[in-house]
Amino acid sequence: MPIMSDSRLTRLAWIVTGLGMALLFLALGLIVLRAPAGLLPDITPWYSDFLVTAAVGVAIIVGGFVAARLPRNPYGWLLLLFGISNGAVQGFAENYAVRSTLIASQPLPLASLSFVFAAVGFATWISAVPLLFVLFPSGKLPSRRWWPFAVLILLSYLVLLAFLWLSPSALLLPFPSPFHEAGEMGRLADNLTSTALSFILFIAIPVSGLSVIVRAIRAKGQERQQFKWLGLSSILIVLAILWNSEIVPLLPDVLDALLEAAAFAGVPLAVGIAILRYRLWDIDVIIRKTVLYTVLTVLLGVVYAILVVAFQAVFTRATGQDSPAALVLSTLAIAALFTPLRRWLQSFIDRRFYRRKYDAEQVLNRFALAARDETDLDKLTAELLRVIQETMEPEHVTLWLRPAERQPPSDPYR
């Protein structure tokens, strides 16, 4: 007999979600209060921090919703734990420490505990990442062989939980923690936490991510659609890593923060759709449109640049100076090319990557034309069976037509 009923678990999920969002709003409030202080040394600008922290709230909401709808599925609870530990616990603790150390005229009450909670929050959400990959989409391990892997993640998490806040090399904030010691305890904490964190970052997360790829390739039907949602949203994570200003300074702070916020918000949304199976098959349309308009944008950009250079060269040779007419003509040419180029690209993408669906759509279009003009029921029935066989490829097709209901003869004398 379960310890808690589904209704109680659902109420618990909403309570935890509410508490997590309340703490997240407090963290956002502390970030906004940093604005008058301007840019602080070695601290992310307040507006970038605000965008990313607010985006993590999506993980809390989606995790709470999944946990409330599927209270026996651990995935929603794990996603809820990830969001709360990342945005609420670590976000609140770090910003409380920043205000106490760099902004307030004197230390705030219990400010030293913020270093502990920041370490706890970081250890929790970083340890949850590989489990979120491995447990997707069913909330269960792929097989029993994954149990030792999950146990190692749990042990690493317990080590981080116990020693991360004591490790002098674990600098979650750009100023020293009052709990860091340079003695034997500090060296022990450094060795243990570096080993546990290295396992999670360089073994657990890559292996779990690889398992997602392998299982996605093998998946079929509904499960394949779920992996498509996760795969499409993971592109945002890859872009955020590649364009992160801390690694490759190619984007300004605001754009970098917007991209990172889109990743933190987009992935939980996609995961929620996949787990709850809401409009699951719409992912094919989204992928097709994404591919179409990405390629279309790149092609139009290249064509526009070529036209501008070509027209400018013509006007320079004819008049001896640059002319804004080159930009105008190039813009008009791009506007004229947009619709036919989009249609050609859509047809090419459908034929190249969605051949079976493209053929099915063509068959259905021909059947619609035939059904509009055909009056012979036998011919129409045969055509319908042929279309079903060609598009769905079932092993057997049977068509049953309900006989027309016979109306009793009307009484002419009534």
Over its length of 414 residues, how does the chain's per-residue pLDDT go in tens digits?
456 788 999 999 999 999 999 999 999 999 999 888 877 777 888 888 899 999 999 999 999 999 999 999 999 999 999 999 999 999 999 999 999 888 888 888 988 899 999 999 999 999 999 999 999 988 899 889 999 999 999 999 999 999 998 888 877 888 878 887 667 888 888 899 999 999 998 999 999 989 988 998 888 878 888 888 888 778 777 777 666 645 455 556 677 788 888 888 888 988 888 888 777 666 666 667 776 777 778 787 888 788 777 877 776 777 766 667 777 777 787 778 778 877 777 777 666 655 555 455 565 666 666 666 666 666 667 666 666 665 555 556 676 666 656 656 555 555
Q: How far apart are CA 405 and CA 140, in angstroms?
A: 52
2 in Cβ contact with 41 (< 8 Å): no
How far does Cα 199 stand from its chain's mean position? Answer: 24
307 in Cβ contact with 334 (< 8 Å): yes
Q: How many CA atoms lie within 13 A of 142 on its CB side?
A: 21
Output helix, strand, coil percentages for the chain, rounded to the nearest 5.
75, 0, 25
Could you give the maximum distance between any two Cα atoms of the chain, in Å?
113
116 in Cβ contact with 98 (< 8 Å): no
Tell me which residue of 202, 206, 177 sits closest to 116, measured CA to CA.
Answer: 177
Kindly give, in sequence order, each residue whose CB lies less than 8 Å from that of residue 177, ignoring residues fewer than 6 positions away.
Answer: 112, 115, 165
Tokens of 202: 């360089």
What pLDDT does residue 245 have? Answer: 47
What pLDDT does residue 413 have? Answer: 52
Q: How far apart are CA 128 and CA 153, in angstroms?
A: 9
What pLDDT does residue 1 have? Answer: 43
What is the b/e burial string over 45-65, where b = at least 16 CB atoms within 10 angstroms of the residue's CB?
bbebbbbbbbbbbbbbbbbbb
- Residue 216 Cα distances to 264, 267, 289, 311, angstroms: 22, 16, 21, 48
Give the pTM: 0.74
Q: How far apart are CA 60 and CA 187, in angstroms?
A: 35
Q: How far apart are CA 100 and CA 104, in angstroms?
A: 5
How far does Cα 223 stand from its chain's mean position? Answer: 17
Q: How many CA atoms lie within 13 A of 335 on its CB side?
A: 6
Domain ranges of the chain: 6-278, 288-353, 359-392
Tokens of 153: 């993640």
What pLDDT does residue 119 have? Answer: 93
404 in Cβ contact with 384 (< 8 Å): no
Residue whose structure tokens are 């619609």: 368
Residue 323, Ramachandran bin (φ over 0: left; ψ between -120 and 50: alpha; else beta): beta
101 in Cβ contact with 93 (< 8 Å): no
Residue 152, Ramachandran bin (φ over 0: left; ψ between -120 and 50: alpha; else beta): alpha
Class of domain 6-278: mainly alpha
What pLDDT does residue 403 have? Answer: 67
Q: How far apart are CA 232 and CA 229, in angstroms?
A: 5
Residue whose structure tokens are 């034997």: 184
